Amino acid sequence: MTFEPTRAAGLARLDRFLPLAGVYASQRNFDLPGHPHVSGLSPYLRHRLISEEEVLAAVTERYAPSTVQKFVQEVVWRTYWKGWLELRPSVWTSYEADLRHAWNRVQTSSGLRAEWEAACKGDTGIACFDHWARELAETGYLHNHARMWFASIWIYTLRLPWELGADFFLRHLLDGDPASNTLGWRWVGGMQTVGKTYLARPDNIRKYTGGRFDPSGQLAAFAAPLDGFENPPCGTLPVAQGVAPNLRTGVLLTQEDCAPAHVWQAVPDPDAHARLEPETTTAILHMAPHVPAFRTAALDDAVARWPGTPAVSPVVTADELTEWAVESGLQQVVTAYAPVGPTASVLAAADRNLQGHGITLVQLRRDYDSHAWPFATAGFFKFKDKIPKILARIDRAQMALPL
């Protein structure tokens, strides 16, 4: 499965998947060569080359809700994870701190380092796990079922720190998302839903890989929950921001939203244009080259679709963003809202810098997010009950804006 990092390619992939959406529920768990039974939309959704709203609208206009219920839920899982982390951002900062601690252990323990390297290279002797490690490194993609098996084997069979596994995913996945990735690994480890773990079973792997793999006798038979901090109390979303009129305004593109019609509509004629270049490292190591390459090309595609095709200044750091804003004589910088993660951290640092120059940073949140994220106060099953309300609020008029 290959992914062209353009909005047109994302929409074409959605069109190709729609005839299959009706049988998604019965086929989705099969991890087969070429991944014929899943949509492959996640890299496009991750960078919002296409939006959750567009995907949900497309399938619910074509099928009865009961027919595509499982697919709708899978799309909305991404929304739920983002909302859950937005309401508890300390979980991300704790993960980053724990990741650095785990990396220090790798640096000081030759045994752990050898085991970690073998897992990353796909050299553990567990054929299915090794296949998935190599597939991820080569393609930037894994079937969702394989991700769960992989995480379970990493944690319970190989007994490696879960944070290093989450980092391995983030460094290689084209759809690597701080919320879905971090919280998904925590769920497998029994920390997200306290006491509930996910154990990879040989019979399950054999069935859903079409008999390609059978790791009988190689996998852990028990999955004890990992130790970890309790989930923090649920907070509240930041108040939605708006654009102040009659100010000299610059617009910033980021990898978090590569089709930000709501931003272009709010600032139709900016005084300056910039793009925040994708990060090339996680907290500890360089990303696989295909990840920043995909994101850079997605930004290129967004720039090509930017109304008026303006000259766009590339910036990499918070300091460079501040320098661009000051040199452009801006009074406010407007960008699409960045959920918890590396981009949000850069924007937070830039916001502090900009305030020192009397410049306001405005992050415009999509209405879809503002409506759905506050429902992520507990587990997914409570959130799932809100799906009809989420679907009812999809703004089809907003989706009709030129992109």
CB 48 within 8 Å of CB 259: yes
With residue 398 as reference, give the H or E element that holds it.
Answer: helix 396-399
Band (69; pLDDT cuts 50, 70, 90) = very high
Average pLDDT, stretch 173-182? Answer: 97
Q: Is the pLDDT of residue 402 over 60?
A: no
Average pLDDT over residues 370-389: 95
Q: Is 165 in contact with 117 (CB distance < 8 Å)?
A: no
- In the structure, what pLDDT confidence band is assigned to residue 245 with cuts at 50, 70 and 90? very high
pLDDT band at 229 (very low <50, low <70, confident <90, very high): confident
Q: Using pLDDT thresholds of 50, 70 and 90, give the confidence band for residue 295.
A: very high
Fold of 249-364: Rossmann fold (3.40.50)
Out of 18-27, 97-106, 221-230, 282-291, pick the least confident. 221-230
Is 208 a residue whose pLDDT tops 70? yes
CATH domain 7-86+371-399 topology: 1.25.40
Summarised one tens digit per residue, pLDDT across range 85-103 is 999 999 999 999 999 999 9
Residue with tokens 């790791």: 215
- Statement: residue 46 has pLDDT above 80: yes
DSSP 8-state assignment for residue 157? I
- Residue 166: which of 127, 126, 120, 203 has the closest Cα? 120
Query: From the CB of residue 56, how many other CB atoms can be counted at a distance below 10 Å?
Result: 21
pLDDT at residue 310, rounded to an integer: 85
Q: Which residues sit opposite 281 in a β-bridge? A: 286
Enter the pTM of the model. Answer: 0.95
Q: What is the mean pLDDT of residues 12-32?
A: 95
Chain segment 124-140, per-residue pLDDT in tens: 999 999 999 999 999 99
Q: Give the distance between the most distant pair of CA atoms in the chain.
A: 69
Average pLDDT, the chain: 95
Residues of the chain with CATH 1.10.579.10: 91-208
Phi, psi at 286, each rounded to 5°:
-70, 145
Band the pLDDT of 400: cuts 50, 70, 90.
very low
Sorted by sequence, the CB contacts under 8 Å of residue 262 that are 6+ apart come out as 336, 364, 366, 367, 398
* pLDDT band, residue 230 (cuts 50/70/90): confident
The single residue listed with the structure tokens 């990060």 is 279
Alpha carbon 270 to its chain's center: 28
Residue 263 · residue 15 · CB < 8 Å: no
pLDDT at site 308: 81
Rounded CA gap, 125 and 18, in Å?
Answer: 39
Average pLDDT over residues 341-356: 97
| pLDDT tops 60 at residue 171 | yes
Long-range CB contacts (within 8 A, 24+) of 36-39: 38/143, 38/144, 39/13, 39/14, 39/71
The CATH superfamily assigned to 91-208 is: DNA Cyclobutane Dipyrimidine Photolyase, subunit A, domain 3 (1.10.579.10)
Residue span(s) of the chain under CATH 3.40.50.620 come to 249-364
Summarised one tens digit per residue, pLDDT across range 298-333 is 999 999 998 887 899 999 999 999 999 999 999 999
The Cα 369–Cα 389 span in angstroms is 13
